[in-house]
Amino acid sequence: MAYIQKILFGSPGTGKSHKVDKELIPQKLKITSSENKIKTVFHPEYTYGDFLGKLVPHTKDNGKVEYKFFEGHFLIALAKALKNIHEAYDKDGELTGEIQNVVLVIDEINRGNSAAIFGTVFQLLDREDDGWSSYDINITQLEFLKLLELIGVKFTYDNKGEIDEYKLRPHDGLKQLKSLQEKIPYLNFDLVNRKVKLPPNLSIIGTMNTSDNSIYFMDSAFKRRWDWEFIDINPPASNYFNDIDSQLRPIDRELWKKMVDTTNNFIKSHSDKIRRIEDKQIGYYFIKGDTIQHEAIRNKLMFFLWDSVFSNEKKPLLELLNSSPIRVNNPITKNELVTFGDFVRFYKEFNTAIVKKIAN
């Protein structure tokens, strides 16, 4: 039940959406039911209310106006994922079936103000190895009650109009729900705290055109919480990077920490070309895992350096690549380093240049 939390990026027309629909969703996530696929498109008018939920006025037949809470795309996806977990357990809290995955697809993720749209949901994007969010967030009572309603919870009320019992078949009654929660703590039924987390069967996949990158700025903290995958306009042969990776040293946690320190020193050595350099440093958890894949270095670290650190001045990156031992007698020219696709194809030079700096 491995989740995906990834942004696919590249030039328009490179097949990002096609890869999401035809490869990631059916093959990686094993999702076939349309009920488990929730899709949306960010745009300049898209808001937190569209994402989580909002009150909308509704005129009744008698002419009176009442307000109804309509769920947003994220709340729909979260509720469906939690409902799938619930349906895989029996009344005794024993897993009896396969937990189905759910995916929320966000096309054009950078065409909306992602910081404003995600709001507190941003905190949930930090996830543990088991797929659960590292931290929970508190949502409003309206959002929480709608979430429970979407999962299938029925409410009974006392004579004061307060909720006195929840029913979620086959776990009728709050007592049974509390017992179930001890075994699968995917919901907090405390209406005071209203805490939620992302479950491991909920994936979030975004797509963005690099040519639209200036529409809305994505800060480094937001970018760090995603895996990234570059879709090249002219992709190299399928075994191109596999051959390179097999020649390079595997990256364990200790080597990764040294690479982080070396990268930060490299960034600081060019502080005169970088604005807000404090925000351009990376931490050891910029990429998680006991073993760091070379693919993650290409798609996340190299893109961060290209797009966020040296976005206006590529000369330091050219100098870094040419410091590689394999480029001593055959330096790369600036005309060979025009696009990110060019940069990522020099991964062997990038890796060996960083390792050389570590050794020195």
Tens digit of pLDDT for each residue in 232-246? Answer: 988 888 789 999 999
Give 198: exposed, middle or buried? Use CB within 10 Å, 0-12, 13-18, 19+.
Answer: buried
So what's the pLDDT on residue 17? Answer: 93
Q: CB neighbours of 181 closer than 8 A, spacing ≥ 6?
A: 187, 188, 189
For residue 353, the enclosing domain spans 236-359
Sheet containing strand 37-41, edge to edge, reads 37-41, 102-107, 202-209, 5-10, 227-231
- Report whether pLDDT(112) > 50: yes
Instruction: Tell me: do 69 and 149 sit in the same domain.
Output: yes
Q: Are residues 131 and 48 in the same domain?
A: yes
Residue 224 belongs to a domain = no
Is 119 inside any structural domain? yes
Classify 160 as helix, strand or coil.
coil
Among 202, 221, 250, give the residue marking a domain's end: 202
- Residue 209 in any domain: the answer is no
DSSP single-letter state for residue 339: S
Mean pLDDT on 264-277: 84
Domain boundary among 202, 224, 258: 202
pLDDT tens-digit readout, 124-176: 999 998 899 999 898 988 898 899 889 887 777 777 767 666 666 655 555 55
215 part of a folded domain: no
- Does residue 253 fall inside a structural domain? yes
pLDDT for 183 equals: 47
**CB contact at 8 A, 175 and 115:** no
Same domain assignment for residues 183 and 260: no
* Spatial separation of the C-alpha atoms in residues 113 and 33, rounded to whole Å: 30
| Residue 228 counted as domain residue | no
- Looking at residue 221, what is its pLDDT? 82
| Domain shared by 53 and 187, yes or no | yes
> Are 137 and 121 a contacting pair, CB within 8 Å?
yes
pLDDT(253) > 60: yes
What is the CB neighbour count within 10 angstroms for residue 21? 13
Residues 36 and 183 in one domain: yes
Tell me, what's the pLDDT at 60?
A: 77
Q: Are residues 244 and 197 in the same domain?
A: no
Which residues does residue 230 pair with via DSSP β-bridges, in sequence order? 9
Task: Tell whether 26 and 88 lie within a shared domain.
Answer: yes
Give CA–CA dist 322/227, Å, rounded: 27
Can you tell me the mean pLDDT for 67-93? 87
When divided into structural domains, the chain yields a total of: 2
Q: DSSP assignment, residue 167?
A: E
Q: In this predicted model, what pLDDT tens digit does every residue of 318-346 receive, in sequence order?
A: 999 999 999 988 999 999 999 999 999 99
User: Does residue 296 form part of some domain?
Assistant: yes
> Do residue 180 and residue 276 come from a single domain?
no
Which tokens hold the place of 145? 């009650």
Domain match, 181 and 55 both: yes
Question: Mean pLDDT lowest for which of 27-31, 48-52, 327-331?
Answer: 327-331
Find out whether 233 and 11 touch, Cβ atoms under 8 Å.
Answer: yes
Quick one: tokens of 25?
């969703």
State residue 318's pLDDT score: 96
Domain end residue (candidates: 202, 217, 252): 202
pLDDT category at 263 given cuts 50, 70, 90 is very high
Residue 188 has pLDDT above 50, yes or no: no
Q: Evaluate whether residue 117 is within a structural domain.
A: yes
Residues 304 and 176 in one domain: no
Shared-domain flag, residues 30 and 173: yes
Do residues 259 and 191 share a domain? Answer: no
